Structure 1
């Protein structure tokens, strides 16, 4: 460690020295620019509202920006100076110099330009008498710019006047003036005026005014009425063209479903297929005509409106069948205020092969990291249907000094057929939002191998619906989901030992059918990269053997079975909330809360193994080996052949600080807490070797006291298309220890070989844990 520390400290000292001596490399007459300072009304006792924020805004608008610094150390400039003037066009010095930045000089500061920019900003904020003057101060080859802003009073809106009702256009403006963004008593704000013009333009676009523009509106400001008040008059410019002042209707709707520039002339000369209001130019009959009823919202003879325009474009993009979508509106040659709509669609390739690397957090027994190969066939039945056939393999590995560390391997094969519409018997639902509803039928096989313990095989068939309310909210509803789970063991001796060790496994690992329904809802705004705070929420509800179970006959002992395999009956719900807070561009604080509850009834005494909750693992509570934590205060024996411990109830909290180290290498510091429980404690069977699992039952009053806590650090290679991570964690709270002794932070001893062997857990995974 000391050998690594000394070079690092030496390099840091060099950077600090190079930064502090930054002016020594300047040529005669050059002055290093250190930044700008803004003084607001320095000769007046009066202060403006939000002075600190206004000062910060003004300083951020000055140019140029000084050299970057951290804690006053201009590290980029230090690297530049440390490299010196390279003697060769290539080499280490040349590379090092490019990592830095040259000195920003005071001579680059344009005072008059900055004066005008700052004055303009204050005027736009309502300080209509503002004036800014700038000067420079130099000391020891360093100089800064000082700007003095005299703001005057900030003006407010006294009255808003809309144009008189002289025609259809002005009537529309007046009919919607109650939605105005201009409010009496508000401060003068230029941005609000710009947004008001856009609002009026949107209202007119909905009424057919295709060629209208916000630039055709003017906000006249009268600041002469006194008392720091202004009157606002909204007017239409005299220079607005006639085309912008009249509404347009749709005449012809021409669709080119298989368009390319190479075939442009050929397609235009084809005789179109007449279907409803559409003229379809497609000599290859690429798509069924009725598909466009769900994609194009315009009708012949109706006024143009922006809502139909945007929804049509969104649907054509979101259906996933086209690589290029373009809508063209052309005025009709007869000058009758009519528009011809030409829609050019370039289909995606019919077949494609994709490779993906993903990481997911799953509370069931299947591994959450996988490599996936998918064959996609598009437009299968000429209705923009899509068939995806995929094969994937995943792994989860942990190492520790005990026998509890286990490796998991999963293999999955899936076929999924997606129809871009609702398929509902005896009913034709009509969806009119921007997103295409989907009907999905899928068939899959999953295999999970847990080494020397067992191999679990799951076959699943599902039919359901996916639809989005908007870009944030998504619903998935599967009215019918059928699963068959089969478990095999390395040998009969292993199986009998497992059942003798824990008779409950006989019911959880036995072959079984799950016939039920499930629904889940997802909300996320993670696509909004400009937001400082992003959220993700998932809520799911699953039932097994309820409605569909009524059609399954009972056997001679009253159990519902299908092909002599028991039918599972249960209700299961899960909630997952995540929050991602961007402290700065390279530092993110991520948090997760995961709750789960399951209830078995009727035909079942426990949840199916693949529907139980588990704790521990690379995507969970990383300081504990996969699926070995809990339930409750129970600890699985070190020599147990079967270590997987499932539960009916789960509570998990994760907090992770993610930061960039260099290039695609990222780091993380994290804390995980949580546990699983059984609804009722496993008491075992009196008079037998089955002693049950003491402390496994859930009691709300004891839940917090029975949480496991672990912490650690990790590195991630984030190459955008894939993420590989290595985490190392150790427990600081062990719920299976006696009450009062569960916090073990005082026992942490990194220098102790035995402690490291017993407590350090290494996790290798694909993707982020959440």
Structure 2
């Protein structure tokens, strides 16, 4: 370990030396560019609004950018200089110089007039109409920088906004009708970006009222800055050059649908006899699809005005239904724009009815099992001519546990699953439908899995579900399974003596080997805006609610212990809720602060004091509190190594009815596809009621924070977009099972001690980010 640390320090020293001595290779008259500096109104004591943000924006617009640096060390330039001039265009030195390194950025590359114009243009767009920018350079030794002095003047505000008079026509009436929603408000700052968005807003209003050929480019915002007092008047007008076709609304005359469209058979398809169904002319001689399907896909009606909402909803539904390879909506004017009607032609090219997919994936689970899985899936589309989809899959996987007490434990699994998806709500009640851009789905699934876990046990799991999935909008997704049945059986060796010996050494297996019969309902809600890269802050939230045996318990027979049975099988009765909140804050382009809060609570009743084992919460592992092996923390202040019953166990599975987890991670780019991370995790699990054999396992709200386990560490990630491989190294800084007052263990940290490293350092290899 000491040799590795010395090697790393030596490499870092070489890089620092190479970066610091980067100017010695410069030619006479060359200067290393160290960056730009922006001064705003240096001769005035008056600061502008948001001066810090404006300065940062101006600085970001200067070009070129200096060499990359971390903590002042230009590491990429260091690689470039350390490699030197390679003799051949290949080999290690060439790779280091071209892939890891970058050439020095010179002061001569700075174009002051160009940067002056860019910065001045930005200030004017923000309302500083009298702004001026002057740039200069400053050198010291072999280094130089650019200094930009911005004199902004006062920022202009909006005094008055006027729109076209109502008397100028129907278009003007629509604009005036919606002017209360205008983004241009008297008293607001002059902002060119707001002006652009106002034109888009007006265009959207017109598109919703049939103005199919209108465009934001046909609007002009005339600005009058001669009113004095640093104020402007804005007049919104339609350009005189706007074509006649853009100034009138259009309605839909015909709706022609070609669901089996093929370019090579275009003429024959168009000449075939259509089926007239409601407002649609459906050209499908083979009757590949049932006509009512298009009621759920196409929102346009004959003789109605065109509107953008119906256009977007129709396209989204046709694209996302999963049976069409390509979708095209063509709006054709009648009589070369002289009429005010459009024909809508919808061309749909179907995907193949049957397809077979084969995949090999890597797996990384929360219980420290890693391995691979081979999966074959047969997909049949449009099964009942209503765009239904049947997926039948068979998979097999092999896993090995790479950490924890059971390190080296191998297992394999065989899984068969059938899933039938209907692109609509199928309910006992009529009239339930969705009219947004997203297809609601009814999903029926049935699966079986055999899990063979080394010499410990075999697990058989049967699961069936009937439920619904739908998107409220692009941010919100719902999943509701009114019926969910899970039956789990397991088996150990038939040799009673051997069986008892295994259970005595590994008491945690008793929980796994219990039969589980869970029949109930589940609901899940997800909100995310992670797909919006422009946001400074992205969030993700998932909340789940699961009930077991609540309704079905009314039909079961009551056992002496208060539990219920159906068909001789004991029914698990419980309520389980979990909330997972994640926040991703972009400090800069290549620096993200990611945080997570995960809370869970389970309540069991009907003769049972804890949740069924397969529904309990766990802590530790690659995606949880990484300073401990999977499922080795808790419950509460209990620690299996301190218990005579569990200390020699070869299989550790500590779990609880309550969970709290907090994680925070600083993610930063190193180079190329390599990223680094510094993180801290904290949390624990508890039983709702104390287990007498595990003292300290019960939950007490007043004492819960004192029983948090805390770990920290660092990681390296290879992020190639299509996959992420992660290596995290973590160690504990707070051990909840220590005596009160001795739980923080900062004083025990000693990286140079081999014994400490063996007992405390935990290596986590994972696929994908932890959250």
Give the TM-score normalised by structure 2. Answer: 0.90
SS of the residue corresponding to residue 320 of structure 1 reads coil
**2:681 aligned with 1:677, yes or no?**
no
State the distance in 1 between where 2:768 and 2:317 align. 31
1:579-624 CA distance string (max 9 Å, x none)? 2333344443333222222222225443222122223333333333
Matching residue of 2:483? 480
Matching residue of 1:417? 420
SS of the residue corresponding to residue 172 of structure 1 reads helix
Matching residue of 1:271? 273
Q: Is the 8 A contact 2:368 2:401 kept in 1?
A: no
State the distance in 2 between where 1:757 and 1:63 align. 50
**2:295 aligned with 1:298, yes or no?**
no
Distance 1:81 1:648, change over 3 A: closer
**2:570 aligned with 1:566, yes or no?**
yes
How do 1:641-660 and structure 2 match up within 5 A?
A: 643-660=652-669
Distance 1:762 1:462, change over 3 A: same
Larger deviation, residues 625-634 vs 75-84 = 75-84
RMSD between aligned alpha carbons? 3.2
State the distance in 2 between where 1:8 and 1:159 align. 64
SS of the residue corresponding to residue 703 of structure 1 reads helix
Matching residue of 1:175? 177
Matching residue of 2:52? 52
How much has 1:25 moved relative to structure 2?
Answer: 3.7
Q: Is the 8 A contact 1:366 1:410 kept in 2?
A: no
How much has 1:40 moved relative to structure 2?
Answer: 3.0
How much has 1:125 moved relative to structure 2?
Answer: 1.5
Any runs of at least 4 consecutive aligned residues in structure 1 with deviations exceeding 6 A, and if so which? 365-370, 498-508, 555-558
How much has 1:652 moved relative to structure 2?
Answer: 2.2
Distance 1:374 1:666, change over 3 A: farther
How much has 1:450 moved relative to structure 2?
Answer: 4.3
Matching residue of 1:380? 383
How much has 1:474 moved relative to structure 2?
Answer: 1.1
Q: Which sections of structure 2, spanning at least 5 residues, go unmatched? A: 641-645
How much has 1:153 moved relative to structure 2?
Answer: 1.8
Matching residue of 1:733? 734
State the distance in 2 between where 1:446 and 1:679 align. 30
Q: Is the 8 A contact 2:508 2:654 kept in 1?
A: no
Q: 1:630 aligns with which of 634, 642, 656?
A: 634
How much has 1:638 moved relative to structure 2?
Answer: 1.7
Distance 1:509 1:220, change over 3 A: same
Q: Which sections of structure 1, spanning at least 5 residues, go unmatched? A: 684-691
State the distance in 1 between where 2:325 and 2:306 align. 26
State the distance in 2 between where 1:120 and 1:655 align. 40
Matching residue of 1:234? 236
Matching residue of 2:643? none
Matching residue of 2:518? 514
State the distance in 2 between where 1:754 and 1:26 align. 50
How much has 1:7 moved relative to structure 2?
Answer: 5.9
State the distance in 1 between where 2:438 and 2:656 align. 38
State the distance in 2 between where 1:509 and 1:478 align. 27
State the distance in 2 between where 1:7 and 1:633 align. 40
State the distance in 1 between where 2:147 and 2:561 align. 91
Distance 1:220 1:630, change over 3 A: same
How do 1:237-256 and structure 2 match up within 5 A?
A: 237-256=239-258
How do 1:555-704 and structure 2 match up within 5 A?
A: 560-636=564-640, 637-640=646-649, 643-683=652-692, 692-704=693-705
Matching residue of 1:41? 41
Tell me the number of residue pairs that the alignment of Structure 1 and Structure 2 aligns: 759
SS of the residue corresponding to residue 273 of structure 2 reads coil
Distance 1:277 1:356, change over 3 A: farther
How much has 1:78 moved relative to structure 2?
Answer: 4.3
How much has 1:431 moved relative to structure 2?
Answer: 0.6
Larger deviation, residues 322-331 vs 92-101 = 92-101
State the distance in 2 between where 1:215 and 1:452 align. 72
State the distance in 2 between where 1:360 and 1:103 align. 42
Give the TM-score normalised by structure 1. Answer: 0.90
Q: 1:545 aligns with which of 542, 545, 549?
A: 549
How much has 1:297 moved relative to structure 2?
Answer: 0.7
Distance 1:501 1:255, change over 3 A: same
State the distance in 1 between where 2:512 and 2:698 align. 17
Q: Is the 8 A contact 1:251 1:338 kept in 2?
A: yes
Larger deviation, residues 261-270 vs 166-175 = 261-270
State the distance in 2 between where 1:61 and 1:354 align. 48
Matching residue of 2:770? 769
Larger deviation, residues 448-457 vs 435-444 = 448-457
How do 1:297-336 and structure 2 match up within 5 A?
A: 297-333=299-335, 335-336=338-339
Q: Is the 8 A contact 2:563 2:608 kept in 1?
A: no
Distance 1:628 1:116, change over 3 A: closer
Larger deviation, residues 406-415 vs 121-130 = 406-415
How much has 1:189 moved relative to structure 2?
Answer: 1.3
Larger deviation, residues 106-115 vs 699-708 = 106-115
Q: Is the 8 A contact 2:597 2:663 kept in 1?
A: yes
State the distance in 1 between where 2:749 and 2:700 align. 30
How much has 1:10 moved relative to structure 2?
Answer: 5.4
Q: 2:461 aligns with which of 458, 461, 469?
A: 458
How much has 1:156 moved relative to structure 2?
Answer: 1.3
SS of the residue corresponding to residue 399 of structure 1 reads coil
Matching residue of 2:373? 371
Distance 1:156 1:34, change over 3 A: same
1:400-424 CA distance string (max 9 Å, x none)? 5x67886665543322111111000
Q: Is the 8 A contact 2:710 2:734 kept in 1?
A: yes
**Greater RCO (Cα-Cα under 8 Å, separation 6 or more):** 1
How much has 1:113 moved relative to structure 2?
Answer: 2.9
How much has 1:519 moved relative to structure 2?
Answer: 1.0
Matching residue of 1:124? 125
How much has 1:734 moved relative to structure 2?
Answer: 3.1
